[in-house]
Structure 1
Amino acid sequence: MTTRGRVRRLRPLAGMSALLVVGAVGVAACADDESADADAQVASTSVLPDNPATGAAVKVGFVSTEGGAAVSLPEMRQGAEAAVEYLNKNGGGIAGKPVELVVCKQQEEPTSAAACANQFVEQKVAAVLSPGTSQGPAIVPIVVGAGIPYVTLNGVAPIELTSPEVAALSAGLPGTLTAAATAAQQEGMSKFTFFASDGGGIAAMIDQMGKPIFQGFGVELDVVPVALGVPDPTPVVTAGLAGNPDGVSFIGDAATCTSVLKAVQTTAPTMKKVLIPTCLDESVVKALGIGNVEGNIGITATDALSDRPDSVLFRSILAQYAPELSPTGYGSTGYQTVMALAGATAGITGEVTAASIREALRTAENVEMPAGGGITFTCNGSAFPMMPSICSKQMLIGKIDDKGIPVDLTVTGT
């Protein structure tokens, strides 16, 4: 899907592999423009409430991945800005106070990312939000060193997954593996193969983390590394399928996913697939053909099109404040990050500060992820004790429809 808000697509660069692998799992799958717009039009919306925020504004920093040569996703910022408009005019703000979103655009490289972190400190923001970036190592030490809590939808770097001053709201890689294992069990699979881009040690992480997870679901897991930039992965795929798995998945960038799944399609055309959103990107689906995607299982953390009240609210807010964004695009990540902060801090009384936000994040339990299909988060370090920043074990799985979107979603990791 190429939404009107998407000005540049991700390109499969080695330095971006971690962001593509983990950050993308929070994005709803994308169909083409016309089908996605049609879905959005028939999906219900509602009248927004009338509960304007009052008092002194709370400054909140927002890391926008925008303007770089490799990647630019302004719709993440646009989704966040729509959420702020809603909170200030309709939704009671953060603990009753309006939000001033301090946006800083960084280009997915350390210099601009560190400059943003320093800007947030200078602006004395009460929290820093990020839908997901590969530049956590450049941002987090500066921000948390100044006593500012850092909230990311998708934690990528180790510092974003282990720091007590970080709240990584979504389940990330551990949750993706749990969702894939759940899908494999539900589909009656006994053996499963994960192909994984070998950049940044991702394949080794999946092997170490994934095997015990799959074993807990009674499924044997084999992890097959795929070298970044390999021109033809067919020999690797053929070797990976030699053990006759019942299903496969891939974690990595969209271009490599295309080549791997094409090789799977050629070698084992009836093989069942469990696909993360990167592998449901417009370019992948177009290359494979919707007939080779439809009916398989998709993983996501966003419920954009159901009739759940939080999904209806999401669409209604976009319709009012960001009509150029599709509900099934990357704008959902910025929206979810802002709205999740508002949900987690709803119990704050008195002044909204970095300290009160930090305490609210640590103590809030089972907060519903906005447009999350029933996913909840609790940021007390209990979700994955080895990665205490991660706040949830839950993801969504569903059958992929004829537009390349997972539907009839169920929550995994409960």
Structure 2
Amino acid sequence: MHVSRSGLRRSLALTLPVALALTITACGSSDSTGEASSAAFDTAALGTPNKATGSPVTIGVISEGKGQAVDQSDEFRGAQAAAAYANEYLGGIGGHKVEVKVCEVRQDPAMATDCANQMVTAGVSAVVEGTLAEVDQTIEVLTPAGIPIIAASGSTKAALTTPGYFSLFNSLSYFGVPAADGKEQGVSKAVMVVVGVPGAEGPARDVGTLLYKNAGIDLEVSAIPPGTADMTPQITAASADEPGLYHVFGNESFCTPAIQAIKAVDPDAAITAIAQCLSAAGAKSIPGGYEGVHVVTTSDLDPEAEDTKLFQAVVGKYGDGAKESVITGSGYSPMLGMINALNAAKITDVSAKGVTAAMKSAPATNYPLGAGATFTCDGKQMPISPNVCSSDGIIASATADGKLEDYQLVPSDPELYSPAS
């Protein structure tokens, strides 16, 4: 299959909204697989106080907030907690105290446009976004005004191509990480079991097939309609070519029967899945639970990791009741990552123009909760897009009951994310 750079970008335009939809569904469940331990936090992890004493700099945060379908309010709290921590322990941004202006979208594109206009009126120096579905509406307003957008990840066409948008984490890791994992295991054939809706199946066939090909793996995409209770016939058909790996891409209600069927039909094959697949309820209905499944995730919440200890301490002290979860992390990580990058760049001009320039010149910076992943926003990290600042990823192992452990960094591999020539 030949996929041009422009064609690939059109396919990628669907990827982030799909991931968001899956995340929203997973967050509505009662399991705790996406949370760190709630043990008492250690204030020593915060380090030595270093208060910001300079004039304030305003950073906007645009998030879904609390809507009819989902409550992402902890994303705000995570970003605000990171800013408060920076003001007391990191000297703010270049010595300037960070003031946070928030605006919630509530899954409404018109409100996203309104939020962006509010940020322009307020004269913010940058806008932080976590997992915003309405990113295109904010790009349309903010980038012409010269206000940079610092996102956890974004992969719409506008996010991939518009100058002034910075995606700190690898937004294509849902496809790239399992391909890299399969390559590491010596797999030559794989099956991606994906929920059969256009927004998921299309990118799986175009983007997924390309990235697996770059990893030296022949990929078959098995798209199965949502709501299919017994996937044995589809998995039996897919197993005929003797794949060494199955990658499951969907939400918990889709992934549970998929993993059940894979374990029954092809028990010796390796299984990877995205984190949104896992739940406590699913673990109970799968023979052997999730034992042995490798899981693609965007946050390392290993309670023994120093990064997680800092996250727990920051959220515990400044989080206003936020959970130590992936949702909170999706606000915390881009805010703290941006602040660390700007300070590493020794920023002196904290205007929007100065922030944009400093983000581009900053050295490699650790992405908070990224298992050691780094980002560099010099436009050279991802051949597919100059706006993606990292091609690192994270993979973890699942326990039988769906908890994640043994988080591992999947190092940057630009060749994996290269478009077809």
Fold-level similarity (TM above 0.5): yes
CA–CA distance in structure 1, aligned partners of residues 297 and 33 of structure 2: 21
Deviation at 1:355, TM superposition (A): 0.4
Q: Provide the TM-score with structure 1 as the length reference.
A: 0.85
Contact residue 179 and residue 212 of structure 2 kept, 8 A: yes
Q: Is 2:335 the counterpart of 1:330?
A: no
Trace 1:10-409 onto structure 2 (pairs within 5 A): 18-21=16-19, 32-33=31-32, 39-41=37-39, 46-48=44-46, 49-173=48-172, 175-228=173-226, 234-282=232-280, 284-285=282-283, 287-288=285-286, 291-322=288-319, 324-346=321-343, 347-409=345-407
Single out whichever of 119-128 and 404-413 deviates more from structure 2. 404-413
Contact residue 289 and residue 401 of structure 2 kept, 8 A: no
Contact residue 134 and residue 156 of structure 1 kept, 8 A: no
Superposed CA deviations along residues 55-80 of structure 1, whole A, max 9, x for unmatched, are 22111111121222222211111111
Distance 1:337 1:36, change over 3 A: closer
CA–CA distance in structure 2, aligned partners of residues 218 and 17 of structure 1: 22
Q: Given residue 156 of structure 2, which amino acid in structure 1 is its aligned partner?
A: A
Q: Which runs of 5+ in 2 are unaligned?
A: 1-13, 413-421
Deviation at 1:121, TM superposition (A): 1.1
SS at match of 2:143: helix
Contact residue 43 and residue 307 of structure 1 kept, 8 A: no
Superposed CA deviations along residues 335-355 of structure 1, whole A, max 9, x for unmatched, are 101101101211244331100
CA–CA distance in structure 2, aligned partners of residues 216 and 100 of structure 1: 44
Contact residue 33 and residue 278 of structure 2 kept, 8 A: no
User: Considering only aligned residues, what root-mean-square deviation do their CA atoms show, in Å?
Assistant: 3.0
Distance 1:348 1:374, change over 3 A: same
Q: Given residue 112 of structure 1, which amino acid in structure 2 is its aligned partner?
A: M
Contact residue 379 and residue 389 of structure 2 kept, 8 A: yes
Q: 1:6 maps to which residue?
A: none
CA–CA distance in structure 2, aligned partners of residues 150 and 91 of structure 1: 22
Deviation at 1:137, TM superposition (A): 1.7
Q: 2:418 maps to which residue?
A: none
Contact residue 17 and residue 252 of structure 1 kept, 8 A: no
CA–CA distance in structure 2, aligned partners of residues 282 and 34 of structure 1: 8
Instruction: State the percentage of identical aligned residues.
Output: 27
SS at match of 2:39: helix
Q: Given residue 68 of structure 2, which amino acid in structure 1 is its aligned partner?
A: A
CA–CA distance in structure 2, aligned partners of residues 279 and 71 of structure 1: 17
Deviation at 1:82, TM superposition (A): 1.2
Contact residue 311 and residue 373 of structure 1 kept, 8 A: no
SS at match of 2:54: coil
Contact residue 289 and residue 402 of structure 2 kept, 8 A: no
Distance 1:371 1:17, change over 3 A: closer
Deviation at 1:203, TM superposition (A): 2.5
Q: Which runs of 5+ in 1 are unaligned?
A: 1-15
Q: 2:7 maps to which residue?
A: none
Distance 1:302 1:23, change over 3 A: farther
Deviation at 1:233, TM superposition (A): 5.0
Superposed CA deviations along residues 313-347 of structure 1, whole A, max 9, x for unmatched, are 22221222227444344211111011011012112
